[in-house]
Structure 1
Amino acid sequence: MRLRKGMTALAAASLLLVAAAGCGSNGNNDSGNASPSGSAPASGASPSGSAGSSAEAPAQKLDPVTLKIVIPGDRPPDMDAVIKEAEDRMKDTINVKLDVVFVPFSDLAQKTQVMLASGEDVDLIFDAPWLHMNQMVSAGYYEPLEDLIAKYGQDAVKVRSQEMFDANTFQGKVYAMPMANSHLAGRTYLVRKDLREKYGLPPIQTYDDLIKFAYKVKENDKDVIPLLAYGQGAQTDVTWGSFRAFMEYDPQFLESDALGQSLVLYYKNNDGKVYNLFDEMEPKIWSWIEDARKLYTDGLIDPDVLAIKDVDSVINSGKVAVAVHNEYGVPSALQSALAQNVPGAELEPVTFVKMEPGANISNFKQANFLAIPKVSKNKERAMMFLNWTAQKDNYDLLAYGIEGKDYEKIGDDKYKPIGTGYPAFGYAWVWNPTMERINADYDDDTVAHYKFTQDAANLTPSILTGFSFDPTPVTNEITLYNTVADKYYNSIFDGVVDPDATWAKFKKEAEGNVKKIQIELQRQIDEFLASKK
């Protein structure tokens, strides 16, 4: 496979080198081929001139090292047992102990930024473009990974597709390991199937069907919240209004490279232009805002949406009829907890993501990354650990827990969760599309969606694939925008406030900075597109 022209020569050489060991085999996996051709990336020369075969093994037993790893979410009950098993497996090889620190999603942006800015001793840390990846790279907090990958990370590369590296550099370098289980993130509404059947409604096929169901809930079950979205933190794409951007196609909207998940700046279809909602409101996006407002004032959207930190716990309580979810399918942990709390209750997945070849535009950028901070004193061992996680049995352990206790293997590409002691959360620290298993409890439609989006050939490549935005010229403006957006964005897109009056305030306080960001982003895009001609 040929690298895309947008990759710098240095990154291309490094990544092609370290991928050499993966040529010819991707192993058994549920995620489709790791590249459209089904082969690993082609081999090449490294900056050091060494040949890439397998990660360097220590000549003698290494001294023990404790890696501090910061990831999002809540600590699973069985985490200590999984860590002990992992440490036992690593004792005679890379000799790593794990200090895994969990940060709630609602606090993730602020706490991880403080950690990095204060120079706290961290060896691996979760980051994302929707969090503050670009800003942290620009601030110099992360270590470039090419040399570390070339020496210690060949296995970590060969389980990821070439697209994942071509499209996920930052300022031309690999600053973090991309994590994904497909080439297009899943988007699903989790629907109470038992309530739908109770009202005699057929399976939900359209957004209008979904809202009709929500009104039925309001009429018949006063103690159940009809609709639930997210209202806190940086996850603005899972507000009720913004969530619709992933499942509507005329036109098709994509998030910009400058403002994370915010739709204030956005791309439309595949024309290489940066659009600004403050310049001209997009009618369809405004219709989503107005729809969210109506649903909120009609009492369908949770009135406390902006205050809820733990959405899963609300779903588990049985007090929600429809909730947004950033994956396909119903997580087993939610299904199990709900059934325990409300006997007979059941969730079903509803998605409007099209399974038509070419219908979905993708720049192949990933939403989740694991970076090695500059301050880490254990950079080599951190990369060795990432490499260790790319071996099947080790991946299974960290992704699904202890076999027989937390999960059961179903063939080579599926698993069945056992209990709730270790819900699958590979997205936070080990995800790759080659090792990932599909939950055996998933329905056929969910499995079909996963397999469809795991094949890059089913997607239309964005003309901006490989583009990396450098926020340095507008770092101050981005910071100022984010401060203002924290006051207004989620409340507008969740329907909590009057949209006309609040949008006017939002625009007045933010449009100057957004215009400067738009101009700089467009300038860099124009240069990128010109370089491809």
Structure 2
Amino acid sequence: MAKLTRRQMLKATATMTIGGVLAACGSTPAAPAADQTSATGSTASSANPATAAPAAATTSAATEVATTAPPAAAITVAPAASTGKLVKITLVESWFGLPQYAESIAPVTKAISEKMQKEGLNIELESLVLDDHATKYPVLYSSGADFTMAFDAPWYKMDTLRAQRALVPLEDLVAQYGPKLKAEITDKIYQANLMEGHLYGIPVVFYYGASSGVILRDDLRQKYKAPEPTSEGGWPTLQPYLEAIKANQPQTIPWANIPNYTITDIVGGHSWNVGVKGMIIPDATKELTLVDYESWPAFVDRARLLRSWWEKGLINKTDLNMSGTSQTVEPDYIFPGKAASCIENEPDYKFIDFTKAMKSSNPDASLMGYDMKGIYSTKTRSFGGLKAGNFMVFNASAPKEQQVAGIQFFNWLVSSQDNMDLWLMGIEGVNYKKEANLRFSEVPGVDAARNYRRQWYVSGVSGRFQRQPVDLPKAAADALTFFSTESNWDFNPHEQFQIDSKALEVDIAKLNGVYDEAMHGLVTGQEPTDTAISKAKKLLDDAGRQQLKQKVQAELNDYLAKHP
């Protein structure tokens, strides 16, 4: 991809609207569903420490755009935002977890800016929404675009940008300008999320671990008298529901399957993905040896099940057209009634907000979510973790005063529950109604599909501060309690291991360049499983997978020798 000048990039990608919202590169896409996974509840001054990261849907890009961002220099500038000078900061938003509409976001960013300035922090917040996030987000860095910070994640672009020195280390900024922010993160989480000794983003945490499974049309399940799937039984227990949909509603896709996140990606137990595609440690409590992903029996079993669903017409025969890279199956296929189920993280909690959004177009519909990973099974246990799945990262090329102001903004956010309510929930009386005990109720007549609601995992703020619905079902409340209870999880003693992404950058890029093509037949069920396994192995090995695996194993062995 050709590099753009800063002027070209800004001209092509951003137009201002009221309230500090920027819409980039064309028309605003359909909004992803309100994607909630929220808090147990307490105030900023008395909350229990955060514990771990939310599960995250996996996306990948075959090629990353190289940047020329310089390494970050030591922070020596004065905090202009608190000395009278107005500082504008721009946040590149996530493509999921909040509405993608300027009219939804603008009033809230305006209210936040006004509240900060009234309280003596002279900062103006702008929000940048990209309509082709996977392509345009890296270009912001390579073009030298004027933005301050962004939602990112190790499973997205963060590791590549970090290796390219496009992200600023935050530990000095946080120490100097974010004392309340650091206290909110907690030292335990702060230390767990250092990368090569540096903090490359504000970790967004809440759970020790979480469920993964299915969101389905519960009204249809009850109508056709299909049994409920179970966590203990896993994915095979979903099949009777899929068969009921096919038999009774042949025009509806029983299961909307997408290749970048499907049942083969649901990994529970004590398996360990060390951060490189195409390889895994099947059980980190036993032998710490990497194996080829497609040779792992647990993966193969799920791939065979997916293939059988394809053969029976229980999933889409070809790839679905999507409005985004991930997190858009519900608004694209479930809400319009085109499909009757799909994969989701924390489904046994998220069905609440998804149901609200769906009822905007189908008042008689209802959704339900079920864990399929087996975390509630008494037969197995899974790893929890302290590392965050999502971060707020800072642009190394942004002016230092913007970097300082960005940290000051997050420090201000966590200084009061009112600030966090405004950021997470929107304007009281317009977007929600505040209730006692960190609960909320909806404002009658507000369109749930377009209403402002920023989910904690794309916010830079722990989920323990996000309000819960006043009518939260007991099952959902129980799920949150389970996720955040330490005794329900085991912990990998080697979680702090990180590959040397800079030293392995070329090898990883080669592997990533063929990975989606190599795995396509397995993650879609569109090819016989054994044929798809052979294809995957050849393409990945021809791209240097075995040599890379040896290098990663050697790095892991060195780490284990130093950290017995």
For this structure pair, what is the TM-score category when the shorter chain's length is used for normalisation?
A: 0.7 to 0.9
Shift of 1:311: 1.3
Task: Kindly provide the amino acid, as one letter, of the partner of residue 402 in structure 1.
Answer: I
Task: Kindly provide the amino acid, as one letter, of the partner of residue 298 in structure 1.
Answer: K
Q: How does 1:98-137 map to 2 (within 5 A)?
A: 98-103=125-130, 107-137=132-162
Matching residue of 2:117:
91
Higher mean alpha-carbon deviation, 490-499 vs 392-401, is at 490-499
Matching residue of 1:360:
382
Aligned equivalent of 2:339, options 309, 320, 328:
320
Find out whether 1:289 has 2:319 as its counterpart: no
Aligned equivalent of 1:396, options 418, 421, 425:
421
Matching residue of 1:494:
524
Whether the aligned pair in 2 keeps the contact of 1:269 and 1:361 (CA below 8 Å) is no
Shift of 1:403: 1.4
Shift of 1:464: 1.4
Matching residue of 2:209:
184
Aligned equivalent of 2:544, options 513, 518, 525:
513
CA distance in structure 2 between the aligned counterparts of 1:277 and 1:35, rounded to whole angstroms: 31
CA distance in structure 1 between the aligned counterparts of 2:509 and 2:79, rounded to whole angstroms: 43
Shift of 1:283: 1.7
Aligned equivalent of 2:92, options 54, 66, 70:
70
Contiguous gaps of at least 5 residues in structure 1: 1-24, 37-47, 49-55
How does the TM-score come out when normalised to structure 1? 0.81
Helix, strand or coil: the match of 2:360? helix
Matching residue of 2:462:
432
CA distance in structure 1 between the aligned counterparts of 2:151 and 2:178, rounded to whole angstroms: 18
Task: Kindly provide the amino acid, as one letter, of the partner of residue 357 in structure 2.
Answer: A
Shift of 1:224: 1.9
Matching residue of 2:193:
168
Find out whether 1:479 has 2:479 as its counterpart: no
Whether the aligned pair in 1 keeps the contact of 2:227 and 2:241 (CA below 8 Å) is no
Task: Kindly provide the amino acid, as one letter, of the partner of residue 398 in structure 2.
Answer: S
Shift of 1:460: 1.2
Task: Kindly provide the amino acid, as one letter, of the partner of residue 411 in structure 1.
Answer: A
Higher mean alpha-carbon deviation, 56-65 vs 111-120, is at 56-65
Task: Kindly provide the amino acid, as one letter, of the partner of residue 63 in structure 1.
Answer: K
Whether the aligned pair in 2 keeps the contact of 1:156 and 1:386 (CA below 8 Å) is yes
Measured against aligned partners, the alpha-carbon deviations of 1:308-339 in whole angstroms (never above 9, x if no partner) come to 23312221112322111122413544212322
Shift of 1:272: 6.4
Task: Kindly provide the amino acid, as one letter, of the partner of residue 295 in structure 1.
Answer: W
Matching residue of 1:308:
322
Find out whether 1:222 has 2:255 as its counterpart: no
CA distance in structure 2 between the aligned counterparts of 1:177 and 1:343, rounded to whole angstroms: 39
How does the TM-score come out when normalised to structure 2? 0.77
Helix, strand or coil: the match of 1:215? helix
Find out whether 1:336 has 2:356 as its counterpart: yes
Q: How does 1:200-239 map to 2 (within 5 A)?
A: 200-205=225-230, 206=233, 207-231=235-259, 236=260, 238-239=261-262
Task: Kindly provide the amino acid, as one letter, of the partner of residue 384 in structure 1.
Answer: Q
Change over 3 Å in CA distance of 1:442–1:477 after alignment to 2: farther
Shift of 1:142: 0.9
Helix, strand or coil: the match of 1:97? strand
Whether the aligned pair in 2 keeps the contact of 1:332 and 1:417 (CA below 8 Å) is no
Helix, strand or coil: the match of 2:254? strand
Shift of 1:474: 1.2
CA distance in structure 2 between the aligned counterparts of 1:331 and 1:85, rounded to whole angstroms: 29
Find out whether 1:34 has 2:50 as its counterpart: yes
Identity of aligned residues (%): 22
Measured against aligned partners, the alpha-carbon deviations of 1:395-431 in whole angstroms (never above 9, x if no partner) come to 1111111112212233233333443211343322333
Aligned equivalent of 1:277, options 275, 292, 311:
292
Whether the aligned pair in 1 keeps the contact of 2:81 and 2:123 (CA below 8 Å) is no
Change over 3 Å in CA distance of 1:185–1:373 after alignment to 2: farther
Find out whether 1:524 has 2:555 as its counterpart: yes
CA distance in structure 1 between the aligned counterparts of 2:217 and 2:208, rounded to whole angstroms: 28
Task: Kindly provide the amino acid, as one letter, of the partner of residue 338 in structure 2.
Answer: K
Higher mean alpha-carbon deviation, 57-66 vs 163-172, is at 57-66
Change over 3 Å in CA distance of 1:35–1:240 after alignment to 2: closer
CA distance in structure 2 between the aligned counterparts of 1:81 and 1:372, rounded to whole angstroms: 24
Whether the aligned pair in 2 keeps the contact of 1:144 and 1:174 (CA below 8 Å) is yes
CA distance in structure 2 between the aligned counterparts of 1:196 and 1:339, rounded to whole angstroms: 17
Task: Kindly provide the amino acid, as one letter, of the partner of residue 381 in structure 1.
Answer: A
Whether the aligned pair in 2 keeps the contact of 1:159 and 1:434 (CA below 8 Å) is no
Whether the aligned pair in 1 keeps the contact of 2:246 and 2:253 (CA below 8 Å) is yes
Measured against aligned partners, the alpha-carbon deviations of 1:33-87 in whole angstroms (never above 9, x if no partner) come to 4359xxxxxxxxxxx9xxxxxxx98795431121121122252442111111101
Whether the aligned pair in 1 keeps the contact of 2:162 and 2:200 (CA below 8 Å) is yes
Whether the aligned pair in 1 keeps the contact of 2:50 and 2:189 (CA below 8 Å) is no
Measured against aligned partners, the alpha-carbon deviations of 1:428-471 in whole angstroms (never above 9, x if no partner) come to 23331441333444422222121222233432110212223221
Whether the aligned pair in 1 keeps the contact of 2:252 and 2:340 (CA below 8 Å) is yes
CA distance in structure 1 between the aligned counterparts of 2:256 and 2:46, rounded to whole angstroms: 37
Measured against aligned partners, the alpha-carbon deviations of 1:362-382 in whole angstroms (never above 9, x if no partner) come to 232221111111101111011
Change over 3 Å in CA distance of 1:125–1:424 after alignment to 2: closer
Task: Kindly provide the amino acid, as one letter, of the partner of residue 345 in structure 1.
Answer: A
Change over 3 Å in CA distance of 1:102–1:517 after alignment to 2: farther
Matching residue of 1:467:
497
Task: Kindly provide the amino acid, as one letter, of the partner of residue 549 in structure 2.
Answer: Q
Matching residue of 1:268:
283
CA distance in structure 1 between the aligned counterparts of 2:146 and 2:251, rounded to whole angstroms: 46
Whether the aligned pair in 2 keeps the contact of 1:452 and 1:458 (CA below 8 Å) is yes
Find out whether 1:387 has 2:408 as its counterpart: no
Matching residue of 2:66:
none
Task: Kindly provide the amino acid, as one letter, of the partner of residue 375 in structure 2.
Answer: K
Task: Kindly provide the amino acid, as one letter, of the partner of residue 159 in structure 1.
Answer: E
Task: Kindly provide the amino acid, as one letter, of the partner of residue 34 in structure 1.
Answer: A
CA distance in structure 1 between the aligned counterparts of 2:544 and 2:473, rounded to whole angstroms: 46
Aligned equivalent of 1:156, options 141, 158, 181:
181
Whether the aligned pair in 2 keeps the contact of 1:433 and 1:454 (CA below 8 Å) is no
When the two chains are superposed, the root-mean-square deviation of aligned CA atoms in Å is 2.7
Shift of 1:484: 0.4
Helix, strand or coil: the match of 1:350? strand
Shift of 1:383: 0.7
Contiguous gaps of at least 5 residues in structure 2: 1-42, 53-73
Task: Kindly provide the amino acid, as one letter, of the partner of residue 275 in structure 1.
Answer: L
CA distance in structure 1 between the aligned counterparts of 2:258 and 2:352, rounded to whole angstroms: 20
Find out whether 1:257 has 2:275 as its counterpart: yes
CA distance in structure 2 between the aligned counterparts of 1:241 and 1:276, rounded to whole angstroms: 16
Change over 3 Å in CA distance of 1:531–1:438 after alignment to 2: farther
